[in-house]
């Protein structure tokens, strides 16, 4: 739950700054969901890589 919460918050911040710099429309829900999916996939991938080394 912590990963989902913080990745959503950080994704919103990065998405807002990126859209302002690129002068593109900002979709809060789309950016947040993309950030959450990326974070969950990354965390699970790192876990599986470390599990395979042990």
Q: Identify the pLDDT of residue 43.
A: 94
DSSP string, 13-26: HHHHHHHHHHT---
What's the rounded mean pLDDT across residues 45-51? 91
- The pLDDT, as a whole number, for residue 54 is 66
Domain positions in the chain are 2-53
What's the pLDDT score for residue 26? 86
What percent of the chain is modeled with pLDDT above 70? 98
The length of the chain is 54
Q: What is this structure's pTM?
A: 0.80
Task: Provide the 8-state DSSP code for 27.
Answer: -
23 dihedral zone (left: phi>0; alpha: psi -120 to 50; beta): left
Residues 6+ apart with CB under 8 A from 4: 36, 39, 40
Rank 1-5, 38-42, 50-54 by mean pLDDT and report only the highest. Answer: 38-42
Q: How far apart are CA 20 and CA 11, in angstroms?
A: 14
């Amino acid at each position: 739950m912590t990963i989902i919460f913080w990745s959503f918050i950080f994704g919103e911040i990065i998405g807002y700054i990126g859209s302002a710099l690129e002068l593109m429309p900002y979709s809060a829900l789309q950016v947040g969901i993309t950030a959450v999916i990326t974070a969950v996939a990354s965390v699970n991938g790192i876990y599986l890589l470390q599990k395979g080394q042990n």
